[in-house]
């Protein structure tokens, strides 16, 4: 498609080119190639010279559009190496999907008063074909310039587009090379990072064979188990596993090897070198080496011996507490029965006992806490049994004494007295809760929680104080804080990103690696929705798996994550968080960077389908493409053509000039074929000096194939030397075609083309024959 002139009308005004809609990505693609401000290259100079002669224009340029300039990688007929972007024609050309043609710049509203039009080089005619990166971003143009207005036909546009495709192929090769170079650097960096993580991790890490032998261990694991690295490498994990835990561990190992599960986590016991038991939290996953096709286990081992000891102590304390509660309940039940009997026998004393009954009811409501009744001056008027047990003073010892003198440490008595007086003097019905270090009779202190409440009984104001020993609660709180700290320390030192997300997809927890991946720090992602953190494409891919996780199913999938330094491939596991009632209230995400593996897979896939010498599709890829082409022909009812090419006299070249020069000949032949055909045509190397070209979507297959064969023979005939040595390349071409829907199989079509090629050789070589 050609984009023509804007006709001038009214006053002239310079129109600077707009920025491309994907300007940032476009500039990144250009920078990736590392071609700006580099010396000229012969391949591009040959194209600009050819374009100048072919179109009879004095100026032909390969222009690269940078941020504020257009720089000429190749130029014919122009001394300047660059011009400002805001006055460039090419800045407009890269905005168009096809070639931009200006037949007379003086009559075009965009360029009529452009300095390059009104002054040297006095541009009148301009035609620019956009040159694109591998991802389709326009980086510049192949352009033609003349000081004279002229016409530009559709055939001219096709020729300019073909030349532009050759230029585009050069920059595509440069971009591919630079990307491969960067990938090699990143691979080396990843390997170094892994080694440092392995050696300096705060947890034990090991590589274990499928038979159980330790193949590699870090220093943390050696310290944990009390062995030197050499000692541990001469053992198996079965030898140092506690006998009671071995069967369960081996069962899970078998499931991983059978492919029933990907990994497993369990708590187990190892035997320390000194015979002691070491409790660990073990996570095991299977690693498959693509190079030597071997399998091994990766084990992450965290010492949880201290936690297990605390759990046992907590269980013991819980059992003791339950026993004490049961004993106290029995005592209270007995006291209630005795009270009822006493009330039945002494009805005459009902009025005097009413007050005691009320006090007893209040005491029962807080029977496990120390209950102290005070008068408005702070003197003790009641003291229950729990108070005796907690504080050490008997009821008779404390009655009518000041509570502050007995319960509050000396340094806190003055503020304690002031606070009590303020409480008594405030509005009635108010309650106060205080935490402070309480004092026992023996002088020891303990954390306590005090609740003050004011009541009136028979017109007399009293203050009820309920004192609770919160030593256990404080210890539990400290244990929780310590556990959280250990969990944070563990997750922050894990190599993979970990997060906890609620059912509304808002973050409840992220480890340091997760924050580093997604641009957060110091908990800045907490409370944010996943859509605010993860790029839209990655989130869309993850959405079906998130739905499964919120339905209570653990799922694993692979995804791509866009980061400033590039796209990462990840292997992610979603683990649902399920309450006791079955409700799923969120899920955990555990991810692993598998970019290196994916890059290797893509590289191996490319190498399996392409000829290593020429970079063209090999025979296996060619047969697959031909099958697909025939299938499309049957659906579209459009014809196809197959050209079978053989280099005439190639064996003599190999025998006389050597195989290394023969390889250069094959590479030149392949490059010439690729540059001669359309972008949609497929050039392949079958073997030796045998090549094929697939043409599809043809209305007149025989005419189109014959035209391509003629162009190929012409281009091959123009090759005069290779690597400084004179050569005369010749080729015989056989053509097989199908008009309309192709009814032949791929093998049949190839056989027809092969036979036609031998007829071409028999008729004098360097010609073609049609089936």
Q: How many helices (H) and strands (E) does the chain have?
A: 25, 29
Three-class DSSP category at 593 = strand
Instruction: Tell me the average pLDDT across 629-646.
Output: 92
Closest CA to 496 of 518, 514, 470, 471: 514
- Overall domain count for the chain: 5
Name the residue with higher pLDDT: 460 or 755.
Answer: 755
How confident is the model at residue 7, as a pLDDT? 47
Q: 50 with 67: CB under 8 angstroms? A: no
pLDDT band at residue 691, thresholds of 50, 70 and 90?
very high
Backbone region of residue 723 per phi and psi (left: phi > 0; alpha: psi in -120 to 50; beta: other values): left
Question: What angle do the packed helices 23-33 and 154-200 form, to 10 degrees?
Answer: 80
Tell me whether strands 507-510 and 431-439 are parallel, antiparallel or unpaired: unpaired
Q: Of 472, 493, 514, at which residue does a domain stop? A: 493
- φ, ψ of residue 414 in degrees (nearest 5): -65, -50
In a domain, 324, yes or no: no
In a domain, 310, yes or no: no
Asked whether residue 13 falls in the same domain as residue 161, the answer is: yes
How confident is the model at residue 609, as a pLDDT? 75
pLDDT band at residue 9, thresholds of 50, 70 and 90?
very low
The Cα–Cα gap between 725 and 664 comes to: 11
The Cα–Cα gap between 215 and 195 comes to: 15
The Cα–Cα gap between 317 and 74 comes to: 84
Tell me whether strands 768-770 and 731-738 are parallel, antiparallel or unpaired: parallel
Highest mean pLDDT among 240-249, 344-353, 396-405 belongs to: 240-249
Asked whether residue 365 falls in the same domain as residue 457, the answer is: yes
Query: Could you tell me which residues come within 8 angstroms of residue 146 by beta carbon, excluding any fewer than 6 positions away?
Result: 57, 58, 59, 123, 124, 125
Q: How many CB atoms lie within 10 A of CB 177?
A: 12
Cα atoms in the 13 Å half-sphere on the side-chain side of 294: 9
Asked whether residue 456 falls in the same domain as residue 475, the answer is: yes
Q: 89 with 143: CB under 8 angstroms? A: yes
How confident is the model at residue 160, as a pLDDT? 94
Q: What is the mean pLDDT of the chain?
A: 85
Asked whether residue 564 falls in the same domain as residue 429, the answer is: no
Asked whether residue 475 falls in the same domain as residue 380, the answer is: yes
pTM of structure: 0.35
The Cα–Cα gap between 748 and 757 comes to: 14
In a domain, 90, yes or no: yes
Domain range spanning residue 469?
Answer: 357-493
In a domain, 322, yes or no: no
Percent of the chain with pLDDT over 90: 44
Q: Of 115, 145, 179, at which residue does a domain stop? A: 179
Cα atoms in the 13 Å half-sphere on the side-chain side of 233: 9
How confident is the model at residue 26, as a pLDDT? 92
What pLDDT digit, counting tens, does each position of 186-195 carry?
Answer: 666 656 666 6
Asked whether residue 394 falls in the same domain as residue 269, the answer is: no
How confident is the model at residue 268, as a pLDDT? 93
Asked whether residue 508 falls in the same domain as residue 589, the answer is: yes
The Cα–Cα gap between 762 and 648 comes to: 11
Q: Which two tokens stand for residue 442?
A: 């023996």
The Cα–Cα gap between 738 and 744 comes to: 8
What pLDDT digit, counting tens, does each position of 314-348 carry?
Answer: 787 777 777 887 877 687 777 677 867 777 777 65
In a domain, 58, yes or no: yes
Closest CA to 65 of 115, 128, 113: 128
In a domain, 579, yes or no: yes
- Identify the sign of the CA torsion 221, 222, 223, 226: positive
How confident is the model at residue 300, as a pLDDT? 92
Q: How many CB atoms lie within 10 A of CB 306?
A: 11
**In what order do the strands lie in the sheet containing 731-738?**
682-687, 690-698, 639-647, 731-738, 768-770
pLDDT band at residue 443, thresholds of 50, 70 and 90?
confident
Q: 479 with 307: CB under 8 angstroms? A: no
What pLDDT digit, counting tens, does each position of 558-611 carry?
Answer: 887 776 667 778 888 999 999 888 889 899 998 887 877 777 777 777 767 788
Q: How many CB atoms lie within 10 A of CB 156?
A: 18
CATH number of residue 673's parent domain = 3.30.70.270
Asked whether residue 587 falls in the same domain as residue 676, the answer is: no
CATH number of residue 559's parent domain = 3.30.450.20
Asked whether residue 294 falls in the same domain as residue 371, the answer is: no
Q: 529 with 499: CB under 8 angstroms? A: no
3-state secondary structure 603-656: HHHHHHHECCCCCCECHHHHHHHHHHHHHHHHHHCCEEEEEEEEECCHHHHHHH
- 209-213, 377-381, 426-430 — which is least confidently predicted? 426-430
Asked whether residue 208 falls in the same domain as residue 157, the answer is: no
Q: How many CB atoms lie within 10 A of CB 198?
A: 17
pLDDT at 716 over 90: yes
The Cα–Cα gap between 236 and 146 comes to: 80
Percent of the chain with pLDDT over 70: 89
pLDDT band at residue 667, thresholds of 50, 70 and 90?
very high
Name the residue with higher pLDDT: 5 or 489.
Answer: 489
Asked whether residue 528 falls in the same domain as residue 655, the answer is: no
Q: 467 with 370: CB under 8 angstroms? A: yes
pLDDT band at residue 386, thresholds of 50, 70 and 90?
confident
Q: Of 538, 572, 595, at which residue does a domain stop? A: 595
Tell me whether strands 445-457 and 460-469 are parallel, antiparallel or unpaired: antiparallel
Name the residue with higher pLDDT: 424 or 213.
Answer: 213
Give the chain's radius of gyration (CA, Å): 43
pLDDT at 8 over 50: no
In a domain, 208, yes or no: yes
């Amino acid at each position: 498609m050609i984009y023509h002139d804007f006709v001038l009308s009214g006053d002239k005004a310079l129109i600077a080119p707009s920025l491309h809609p994907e300007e940032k990505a476009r500039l990144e693609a250009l920078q990736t190639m590392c071609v700006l401000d580099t010396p000229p290259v012969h391949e591009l100079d040959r194209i600009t010279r050819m374009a100048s002669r072919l179109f009879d224009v004095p100026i032909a340029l390969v222009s690269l559009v940078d941020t504020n300039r257009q720089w000429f990688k190749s130029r014919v007929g122009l001394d300047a190496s660059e011009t400002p972007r805001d006055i460039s024609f090419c800045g407009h050309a890269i905005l168009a999907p096809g070639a931009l043609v200006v037949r007379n710049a003086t009559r075009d509203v965009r360029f009529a008063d452009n300095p390059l039009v009104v002054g040297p080089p006095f541009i009148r005619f301009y035609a620019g074909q956009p040159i694109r990166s591998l991802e389709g971003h326009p980086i510049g143009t192949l352009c033609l310039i003349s000081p004279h207005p002229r016409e530009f036909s559709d055939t001219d546009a096709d020729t300019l587009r073909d030349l532009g495709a050759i230029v585009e192929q050069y920059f595509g090769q440069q971009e591919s090379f630079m990307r491969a170079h960067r990938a090699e650097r990143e691979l080396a960096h990843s390997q170094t990072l892994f080694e440092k993580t392995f050696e300096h991790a705060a947890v034990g890490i090991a590589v274990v064979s499928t038979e159980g032998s330790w193949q590699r261990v870090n220093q943390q694991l050696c310290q944990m188990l009390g062995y030197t690295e050499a000692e541990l490498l001469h053992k198996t994990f079965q030898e140092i596993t506690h006998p009671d835990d071995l069967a369960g561990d081996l069962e899970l190992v078998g499931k991983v090897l059978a492919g029933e599960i990907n990994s497993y986590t369990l708590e187990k016991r190892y035997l320390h070198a000194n015979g002691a038991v070491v409790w660990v939290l073990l996570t095991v996953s299977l690693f498959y080496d693509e190079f030597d096709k071997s399998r091994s286990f990766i084990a992450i081992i965290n010492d949880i011996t201290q936690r297990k000891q605390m759990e046992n102590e907590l269980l013991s304390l819980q059992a003791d507490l339950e026993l004490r509660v049961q004993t106290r309940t029995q005592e209270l039940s007995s006291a209630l029965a005795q009270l009822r009997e006493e009330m039945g026998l002494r009805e005459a004393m009902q009025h005097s006992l009413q007050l005691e009954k009320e006090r007893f009811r209040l005491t029962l409501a807080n029977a496990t806490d120390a209950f102290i009744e005070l008068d408005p001056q702070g003197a003790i008027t009641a003291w229950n049994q729990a108070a005796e047990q907690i504080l050490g003073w008997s009821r008779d010892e404390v009655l009518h004494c000041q509570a502050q003198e007995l319960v509050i440490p000396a340094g806190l008595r003055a503020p304690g007295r002031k606070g009590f007086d303020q409480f008594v003097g405030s509005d009635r019905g108010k309650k106060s809760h205080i935490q402070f270090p309480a004092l026992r009779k023996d002088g020891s202190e303990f954390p306590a929680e005090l609740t003050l409440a004011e009541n009136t009984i028979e017109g007399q104001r009293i203050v009820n104080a309920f004192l609770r020993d919160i030593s256990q609660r404080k210890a539990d709180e400290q244990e929780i804080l310590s556990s959280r700290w250990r969990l944070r320390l563990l997750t922050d030192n894990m190599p993979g990103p970990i997060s906890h997300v609620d059912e509304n997809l808002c973050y409840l927890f992220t480890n340091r690696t997760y924050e580093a991946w997604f641009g957060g720090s110091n908990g800045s992602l907490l409370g944010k929705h996943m859509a605010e953190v993860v790029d839209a494409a990655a989130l869309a891919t993850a959405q079906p798996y998130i739905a499964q996780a919120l339905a209570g199913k653990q799922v694993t999938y692979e995804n791509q994550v866009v980061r400033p330094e590039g796209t990462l491939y990840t292997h992610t596991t979603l683990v649902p968080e399920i309450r006791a009632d079955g409700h799923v209230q969120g899920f955990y995400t555990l991810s692993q960077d598998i970019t290196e593996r994916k890059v290797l897979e893509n590289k191996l896939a490319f190498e399996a389908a392409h000829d290593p010498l020429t970079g063209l599709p090999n025979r296996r890829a060619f047969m697959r493409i031909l099958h697909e082409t025939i299938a499309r022909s049957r659906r579209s009812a459009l014809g196809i053509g197959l050209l079978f090419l053989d280099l005439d006299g190639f064996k003599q070249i190999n025998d006389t000039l050597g195989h290394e020069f023969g390889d250069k000949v094959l590479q030149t032949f392949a490059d010439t074929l690729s540059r001669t055909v359309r972008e949609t045509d497929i050039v392949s190397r079958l073997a030796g000096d045998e090549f094929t070209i697939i043409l599809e979507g043809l209305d007149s297959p025989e005419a189109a194939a014959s035209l391509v064969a003629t162009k190929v023979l012409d281009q091959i005939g123009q090759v005069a030397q290779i690597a400084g040595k004179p050569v005369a390349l010749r080729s015989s071409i056989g053509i097989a075609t199908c008009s309309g829907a192709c009814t032949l199989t791929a093998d049949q079509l190839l056989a027809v083309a092969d036979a036609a090629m031998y007829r071409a050789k028999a008729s004098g070589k360097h010609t073609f024959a049609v089936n």
